[in-house]
Copies of this chain bind each other. A is one copy, B any other.
């Protein structure tokens, strides 16, 4: 949650076990964007460090070059947004169906005949 910039480059490099020069290279390629102090010193946030770890996994374990890392980061971001949209849609499906049921229950109370009581909903909702 608290994601303020805090680590200068040597600390960040230690945290992810990489060469400081490598971190500078990654910034130059636009893969991480650490903040800077007034004196131009890089400050890496926890999120920056996490991204560094991801880049490290992609390069050392999977052997991607930096152009590939950039594309993979882009696609994974896109995938994550689509994932969220999908979950939202699933929730909406449940809610909308429920809303329609509620609505009709209200209407039935208004319009039903006194001699014909409204049956329980569970008896006339067929779908699971």
Contact = CB atoms under 8 A, between A and B. Distances in A.
The binding surface of chain A is classed by DSSP as helix
A68 B79 contact: no
A40 interface: no
Size class of the A contact interface (CB-based, 8 Å): 35 or more
Nearest to A85: B86
Interface in A87-107: 89-90, 92-93, 96-97, 99-101, 103-104, 107
Contact of A71 (B68, B82, B83): B68
Contacts of A124: 103, 107
A22 interface: no
7 contacts: A65-B65, A78-B79, A89-B90, A93-B96, A99-B127, A107-B119, A111-B113
